[in-house]
Amino acid sequence: MGVITLTTDLGNRDFYQAALKGSIISLLPDVRLVDISHDIPLFRIQHAAFVISNAYPYFPKNTVHLIGIDTVFQEGSRYLAMAYNDHYFVAADNGIFSIILGEAKPSELVEINIMQDLRYLHFPLADILTKAACHIANGGKLTDIGFPIDNAVQKVTLQPVYNHHSIKGHVAYIDSFGNVISNISKELFNKIQKGRDFILRFKRNETLNKMSWHYNEVIEGEMLCLFGISNYLEIAINKGNASQLLGLHHDETIMIEFID
């Protein structure tokens, strides 16, 4: 039986998460449900995209990833199902697919045309999106639940700005250790750096000019930068909370300048 992962901002306090799972199990009793996270900050699609993008490659091919961020029904709402990199993703058309994809293109993309059950008008995640995810996990085709669209997803521009001399990015994610993770990928850094020295600038006029390989490369309490498991540039403090100690929060600017 298929695997469905869940990434939502429903939290763990209310009945919403249980209702979602109950809806899925009612349609597909033998499904394997895996929680990626239900603690995504409310409506923060970039945060959700970062978590999904780093988690899904560890799952088997054909896993269905149900994303419940900003799915509340409103006039003109669209819900999409996407095949990409041998996985399936089901979510609202709110820009999250454009972040997951980056410059890549999905192998298949449909706008879901499942009729909304009016009993669940305020909870389409447990209705339209659940039905779509269960259909795919049960081996169904995307074209059975929607009509193809040509990569026409809502766009969210959250990519770094760069030229030959610099890269300007921002804080995209802060993990539970307080490590500050930017939207600057290792691939982009290497492409622009070309072996040159650099200065990393961020809040409070702090700077770093050396890339570390691991967190313990510096003494405890000292800050460092490195490319971690996500392959995105991190600012960290060895055995310390960089976000709190450095005052770095979501969306704050990070600048890298390269020295010729």
User: Does 3-148 match 161-259 in CATH topology?
Assistant: no
- The domain segmentation of the chain, as residue ranges, is 3-148, 161-259
Residue that is written with structure tokens 């850094």 in the block: 189
What is the DSSP pairing of strand 79-84 with strand 108-112? antiparallel
User: Which two structure tokens, joined as six digits, stand for 2?
Assistant: 């298929």
Instruction: Tell me which residues of the chain have a pLDDT lower than 50.
Output: none
pLDDT in tens, 95-146: 899 889 887 899 999 999 998 877 766 788 999 999 999 999 999 999 999 9
| Right CATH for 3-148 from 2.60.40.1660, 3.40.50.10790, 2.60.40.10, 3.30.365.10 | 3.40.50.10790
Residues 252, 254: Cα–Cα separation, whole Å? 7
At 150 the three-state DSSP class reads coil
| Residue 16 pLDDT | 94
CATH 3.30.420.40 assigned to 161-259? no
Q: What is the pTM of this model?
A: 0.85
CA 163 to CA 151: how far, in whole Å? 27
Nearest by Cα to 181 from 168, 166, 196, 170: 170
Residue among 6, 34, 36 nearest 20 (CA): 6
What per-residue confidence (pLDDT) applies to 254?
A: 95
